[in-house]
Every structure is written in structure tokens, then in C-alpha cells.
Structure 1
């Protein structure tokens, strides 16, 4: 739910159902073998074709303290993938004449700035201008405490507007919290009940619901960050994110949900067409993701240390979902590997073999690096035998040496190549490359 710029042994579960001849299961299994052996990822993945599961795996632990291993029954907070469910519910409500996407929101939220200009549709595609409350430093001071609807509306109203409604788009969790309240008023039922009545019960999604306090007995996972060891993260109180990020699910349920969504089994074809129409790269609770020459649609999520991905490739009827509760390896690389396994594309299995350098060998890399075309300065420091990089306004992250002059931060998919003689550092991330000069 919270956006971040630069910074988710034996297999506990592996099964294949309706195995597609196109799926390179053996190679994908090898990736998960090494991720678990090196303790780089905890979570689950599912790939489905035409609604039938063709690959699934869960590794790591739901709870490190009690050594409770992940299984196909494990459930995770899915963060902002909740928005796709919420958007679907809003379209369902519109089809049932409970509301209209063109109606403005002042009757619901008279204290919200520009409420008389903001439509429900503007909330759906992030064109409302309403400030994103999770961007504020104060958010992390209260996110573990329960909040009432009135308290959340006051917090959102206090943030006012960042731009004129419908003049542009900018991601804001505030939009989907407000949509939750609109749905509750439209149906006169709690958001959790609406989700159950309109989506999870009709589709038989037994592992998907609005979360509360994490319950290990209910096979819900805790989330962890890694700092020499896995450290349990605090829990956001789910009364805060609501339809913006409060849903719990697992990859199998997520693939079923999105397959039924695109099969018009939840909302009709006209509604889905509107939901998936992009304006300034935003759909309504959905985004586009490229993979080679293919285009997928879906959403990602992050709340506490949970990370999630859900994509659907309509032309091939392929759904892929990933949920994690701890990672030091880039989840995007896992998704790419899964899609590559199906679409017969090459991908490399990491070895995680790093080299050790003496402290004096790190000295040529130290300093500040910047470029006019790069929005931040990267400061490189060391602590004895460990090199660290820190972008402006971000936390420092550790770098592992893969070979002389080459380092990486696997969790964010960052690779750094130093050229000390040229006073250059080449930063690679997400297929992009930046050359930064040392001051």
C-alpha cells in the first residue's frame, strides 16, 4: 500500500495440475529451490490457464518464530491488489443501480476539498486530486491503531487536494478508502460483507476476505524484513486501508478471481471495458504490464512487509499471482521467470555467489554520484567490509560484491557497476541504465 522508490533446504510445497506442455516446470522449480536454500524469499505463487491451475508453489515460513512452514493454505495480506476487488465491486454496484460513476461525492463527504467536482469515476482512476494520506510521515505513527470511518475521513480531508480534479492522474490510497465507505452506504452493509456477497462466495474463493489481526491458526502469515535475520514487521490495522489494501488472499484465489473477472462472470463486458481503459496509464483499479510483445493487466500490492502481484494476459488466458511475506530477492524477477517458463523465454537462475573484498578495496567506490538526468544523488559509504548506497531521501541499502567493481542489491533488482578510473557508476534497474558521475 505504501509506495517505495528504491527499495519482497527443502521445498515445502510443489504441485502441478493440468500440466501445460509449455510450462518449464523443472527450471522454475530450480529457481524456488535456490531461493529457499539461500533464504531469499518467503511466499507463494500460482499460474493458471483458462481458470485451471498449472503451477503452484509455497516456500519459506508463515511464522519464523514457531517455524511454521508455508503451504498452499497460507494466506497473505495483498495490499493494493485490494483495489482491483474494490473497483469490481463499484462497477457491480453501478450495474445494480446503487450508484453512478458520474455522480460527485459531496453527498458522501462534504468536508473533502473539491468534493462537488470529484466523481466516483475520478476516485477509481486516481484523477480526484485527493492527497494520498500514506505519503505523510505521520501515517507510520498511527497505522497500527484502529480508526473509525469518521477519523479516516478527517485524516483524508486534512490532506486537501494536490491538483484540480480530472486534470491529471496521481496514485492515492485515499481514493479507495473513500470508495469503501461509498459502497457501505450504497449497500447498507459492511465492506467485508459486500465483498463476500458479491465476489468471494459466488466464486467459491474460500481464502479471500477482509483481514483483521493476523491469525496463525487461520493460516495467515506474518511479514518480515531482513537484517542479518528475519525481523517481524508490525501490523497495519485493517480499519485504515479498507478497500485500498485490507484484503487477505492467496495466489490460487487471486488467479481464480481475475480469470472470472475477464470472463465477465462478476461484472459485464461493458463494465470491464471501462475498468480496463487506460488514461494517463491508469485504469480503474488496474494497470497494464508489458512482457516482451504481450500486454497484461493487473495490480501490485504492498503493505507492511507483504508484497503481491496479480497479472492477467487476456490473449493467452494466463493468470499469474505472487504473494510474499519476506524477501531479499526482487519479486519482479520471480514473475518474469514464471512468465518466461510459460512463454518459452530465457531467464537466468541466480547463484547468489558473492565475493569478499578487503575494506581498503572498497575505498575507490566511496563518494557521491549524480547526473542531470537522474532525480537523486547516490551516496556510497562503507562499514568495515560492507558497502552501502543511499539515494536522496531514502534509507541506505547494503551492496553485495558479485565480482570486482560490480555490486547488487537483489531485493530491489539494483545492479551497480563502478568505473573508478572514469569516476563513473552505472546503475541498472528494471531494464534501465543510468551513468552517474562521482563528485
Structure 2
């Protein structure tokens, strides 16, 4: 019995020392990028088996008020919004209200070539339509309150870049259309649908459709970096990015989201698998994208990844299904992308963490 106790103690000590070393390695990686303690910064999490094993904040949440970031800070997550839009579409499919094989003309009859563009094409960025973020006229509407229909009308008559299914071309317009279809099919606003069917159900109590007007506790403020220093982020109306990039969240809430997906709390396993499957183009070539997630790998081990970028903010998450490791990073200056950093932390975590 005594020998068993000693062995257990040695094991626990070794495990503790290994965890400390991993923390130090992660700290070192982050501090090589986020060097300014008095500038905008970032917050990071590593979770395993659904629980955080590393969670730290670096830098400031508000430069004017000298307020530091903390691990509960609320960030705009940009294009990570697409995960929620994709799952919302699959929820409606599971309810029998739409099919991903449906042409978008079924819901938006006036859409050009809508008979040949499917919901699947929108989800996989293979629609070929013009990305509104690349349009020079975007600045004309960036601060206007736009309905989903107005947003679709803004880009729908633009010349197409490709034929549907010809090529993977990352496309924000497609996810704006998906948000509009969610509203048409559900009879609710996109904001209300996401809140009621995802945020409330998963108890993501600090996640929101983005706003600059409402009082949001623990809000991180966004910044740009100029030659002469930092400035407050450019103001946009969030009805413009809409379902392609207008959500806000926290580290803890995003972990709840990941856990809900793992536990099939929102969709059956069969339906949810569609989000994490690779698809092919017209010529049979496979693309590394499912519905709302890039499907990549680290040293041959499959990952699900997505980042986000919106004025003043950048975000990135990597999930490793086989090890149930989730790595997440948010930055409140678009001068400081956490993308490669989160990938490096995920690789480091994979090399140092053993699932028991």
C-alpha cells in the first residue's frame, strides 16, 4: 500500500511538473507575439476533455481607461460566426424546413442563377458569387443599417467569379445569404434564432449578436495600429457582416459551444457530421472545408479550424477531435493575429498532453 502511495505521488508530481512546463512553453510562445503589457493584447485557452487546462490574458482591454484584459473578456469573433450559421442551417434541415441540396432560388426567387447555386455551395464557399468584402462600394454602406434583403441586393447583381462548384473561394456573401435564408425559413431574425436555439440552449450567457451601443460587461475594445500609435477601431454597422461575422463571445462560452457539439446537444450525430465532412468540386477534387470549418491536420492528425477578422479584432480556434483538445485565441488589435500562434500552441499541446 505504501509503495502504491509513493508511486501515485511520483506520478502526480511528474504530471504537475509537465503541466507547469507546458504552461511555461505556451507563455513563451504568446509573449513572443504579444509583447506590450500596456497595449492591446489577447486571451488564450487550451482545453482537454471539455475542461480548461490553460487560460490567460495578456495586455489591455481598454487603453483609455487603463483596464486590463481578463479571461472573461468579451470579444468580437468575426468569421468564427460562420460556425453558428452553418449549424443553424443544419438544425433547420433536421427539422425538415430546408435541405442543403436546395437551390437558393427556392427561398430567394430573384437571385441571379439561383437555380444552380445550392445551400451546400454557400456553406462550402463554392458558389462562385462575388464576395462583398472585396467590393469598392462597401464603404458606402459600411455604417448603414441594412436589412438582410438589402445586403443580398447589394451584391447579387455583381459579375460572378466562378461557376457553382468549380472552385473553393472563401466567400462572406454566401454566409450573408445563409443568414437571410435562416430568417425566411424560421420566421425569426438571425439574432433571435441564434440566441434562442444556440446561446440559450448551451447557456452561452456572455455571447451576443455584436453591438457597439449596448452595455456589455467585460467588453474588450478593438484597436488598429498606426505609425504614430493605436487608434480605436473603425466603426461599422453589424448588419453588414451579419451572419458571416457579427457575433461576440468569450473563451468559456466558446468552450461550451465546442462541448455542445461534441455531446450532440444541438444536432444528431448524423446531421452534425455534415459540418465536419470534406466535400468535392465538380471535377472531383477534394476541398479542406466542411460547413463552417476548415478541415486541416497537424502532423497528419485531423483538426477542425477557423479564424475571424473584423475591424479591431482577430480570432482563431483549433480543435483536435482524436485528443479532444481545443485551443482558442482572441486579439483586440487587428495588428496582432493569433492564427499561427494558436496553431503552434495546438501543436505544442498535442506533443505534450496525453489523454487519460
TM-score range, shorter chain: 0.7 to 0.9
Distance 1:19 1:157 in 2: 56
Aligned-residue CA RMSD (Å): 2.3
Residues 79, 301 of structure 1: 8 Å contact kept = yes
Flag structure 2 segments of 5+ consecutive residues without an equivalent: 1-14, 280-286
Report deviation, 1:245. Answer: 0.3
* CA–CA separation in structure 2 for the residues paired with 1:38 and 1:305: 18
Matching residue of 1:185:
184
Distance 2:87 2:312 in 1: 26
After superposition, what is the alpha-carbon deviation per residue over 1:100-149, rounded to whole angstroms, capped at 9, x for unaligned? 11111113222321111111111111122221111112213421222122
Q: Which residue does the alignment assign to 1:136? A: 135
TM-score of the superposition, structure 1-length normalised? 0.70
Q: Which has the higher contact order (CA 8 A, sep 6+)?
A: 2
Per the TM alignment, residue 185 of structure 1 is displaced from its structure 2 partner at its CA by 1.5
Residues 400-439 of structure 1 aligned to structure 2 (within 5 Å) = none
- Cα 1:153–1:37, aligned 2, differ >3 Å: closer, same or farther? closer
Partner of 1:313: 320
| Cα separation, 2, equivalents of 1:337 and 1:167 | 32
Corresponding position of 1:334: 341
Gaps of 5+ in 1: 1-17, 346-439
Q: Report which of the two structures shows the higher radius of gyration computed on alpha carbons.
A: 1
Superposed, 1:34-53 pairs within 5 Å as 35-37=34-36, 42-53=41-52
- The 8 Å contact of residues 41 and 327 in structure 1, kept in 2 or not, is answered as no
The 1:327/1:89 distance shift into structure 2, 3 A limit, reads closer
Is 1:91 equivalent to 2:90 in the alignment? Answer: yes
Kindly indicate whether the alpha-carbon contact (under 8 Å) linking 1:79 and 1:246 is maintained by their aligned counterparts in 2: yes
Larger strand share, 1 or 2: 1
1:268-321 CA-to-partner distances (Å, cap 9, x unmatched) read: 222222211223222111112332332210211101121011221000001111
Q: More displaced, 141-150 or 72-81?
A: 141-150
User: Paired residues, what number?
Assistant: 328
Alpha-carbon separation, structure 2, partners of 1:241 and 1:101: 22
> Is 2:74 aligned against 1:67?
no
Are the counterparts in 2 of residues 45 and 56 from structure 1 also a CA contact under 8 Å?
yes
So what's the TM-score if we normalise by structure 2?
0.85
1:327-378 Cα deviation digits (max 9, x unpaired): 6555234214422442336xxxxxxxxxxxxxxxxxxxxxxxxxxxxxxxxx
